Structure 1
Amino acid sequence: MNAPLQNLAISLGVMQVARKIPFDDPKVLEYVRIGYVASQVIILAVYYFASQKIKSKNDQTVLKYVEPPNQMTQEPGNLVTTTVRDYDLSETSKLIRAAYTSIAMMAFLHLYLKYTQPLFVQGLMGLKSLYEAKTVKIHVLGQAPEGDLKRPFKGAAGMFGATADPQTDKAAIEEAEKRIGTKKEE
C-alpha cells in the first residue's frame, strides 16, 4: 500500500478510536492536549537533533540532479548542484516547516473552532511522519543511504501512485547543463 493510502487508512482507524474517547471530560481533554504537545516537542527535537548530526558530519560530497519539471508548464526541470550536507539540511528544513504548519492548523482548529479529535489524530500521525522522514532514518536511526534513502530522495507518491522523481542520470544532467549554457550565451 502506498504512503498516502496508508496515511488515510491509519487516520480513519485513529478517528474511530478517537470517537470512543470522552473529550467532554476536562481531565481527558487535558491529557490529550498534553499528549499532543509532547508529541510535537518530540518531533521538533528529533528534527533539530538530525540537523545537528548533519552539520557535524559536514558531508561535502557534490550532488547533481535535475529537478522534476512542473506539471503545469512545459518547461524542463532545473539543474541543481549542491552538497549532501546542504541537501539534507534543506530536506530537514522542509520537515520542520511542515511540523510548524501542522501546529498552526491544530491551534486554529482547537483553540478557535473548538475541535478536539484532531489533536489526538495529529499527535499520532505526526509521530508516524517522524518515523518515515528520510533524513531521520539516515542520521538518527543510522540507516544507509541506499534504495529509497538514496539522494536525491524520490518524490512522495500521489494518491494513485504517480511520482515526480528527480533525474540523476548523466544524460539528463548534461542536457540541463547545455540548456543553462545556451541561456547564458543569449
Structure 2
Amino acid sequence: MNPAIQNLVISLGVMQVARKIPFEDPDILNYTRVGYIAVQVIVLGIYYYVSMKVKSKNDQTVLKYVDAANPMTSEPGQLVTTTVRDYDLSETSKLLRSVYMGILMMGFLHGYMKYTQPLFVQALMGLKGLYEAVPVKVHIFGHKAEGDLKRPWKAAGGMFGAAAGPQTDNAAITEAEKRVGGASKKDD
C-alpha cells in the first residue's frame, strides 16, 4: 500500500479511536500531553543516536547521483557528489526538521487552538514514522543498504503516485558531468 494512503487510513482510524476518549477529563488530557511529549523526546533521541552512529562509522565512500529534477522548472537534475556519511547525516537532519515542524504545528493546534485529538494521533504517527525512517532501518535495525534501502534513498511517493527519485545509473551521471563541464557539486 502507498505510504501516504496508509498514513491517511491510520490517521482516520486513530481519529475514530480518539473520539471515544474523554479529553474533557483533566487527568486524561494530561496523560495524553505527557504521552505526546514522551514520544517526541524518544523520536528526537533516536534520531540523535542515529546521527552519532553515522559519525562514529565515518563511512567516506563516495556517493554520486543525479538529484531529481524540479518538476516546476525545465532544468535537469543536478549532479551530487558526497560521502555516505554526509548523505546519511543530511537525511537524518531532514527527519529532525520534520519532527521540529510537527512539534511547532502541534504547539499551535493544541496551545493556541485548544485541539486535543491531534496530540493523540501525532503521538502514534510519530512512532510509525520512526519505524519507517530509512536511517533508523539501516543504522539501528541493522538492515543492509541494498534493494529499497540502497543509497540514495528514494523519497516517499505522494498520495497519487511515486515521487521521482534520484538517478544512479552511469548514463545519467555522465550526462550531468558533461553539463557542468566535469566539475561536480559538493553537497553539504
- Sort the TM-score into its range (normalised by shorter chain): over 0.9
Q: How does 1:15-164 map to 2 (within 5 A)?
A: 15-164=15-164
Determine helix, strand or coil for the equivalent of 2:181: helix
Residue 133 (structure 1) shift? 0.3
Does 2:186 match 1:181?
no
Distance in 1 separating the partners of 2:155 and 2:42: 25
**Length-normalised TM-score, structure 1:** 0.97
Distance in 1 separating the partners of 2:95 and 2:182: 35
Distance in 2 separating the partners of 1:123 and 1:47: 16
Aligned length: 184
Determine helix, strand or coil for the equivalent of 2:82: strand
Identity %: 70
Residue 162 (structure 1) shift? 2.4
Does 2:2 match 1:2?
yes
**Length-normalised TM-score, structure 2:** 0.96
CA contact (8 A) 2:66 2:166 kept: yes
Determine helix, strand or coil for the equivalent of 1:181: coil
CA 1:182 to 1:133, structure 2 compared with 1: closer, same or farther past 3 Å? closer
Which contiguous aligned blocks of 4+ residues in structure 1 show a shift greater than 4 angstroms?
Answer: none
Residue 148 (structure 1) shift? 1.1
Residue 156 (structure 1) shift? 1.3
Residue-by-residue CA offset, 1:69-91 (whole Å, 9 max, x unaligned):
00011100000000000000000
CA contact (8 A) 2:177 2:183 kept: no
Distance in 2 separating the partners of 1:134 and 1:162: 17
Name structure 2 gaps, 5 residues minimum: none
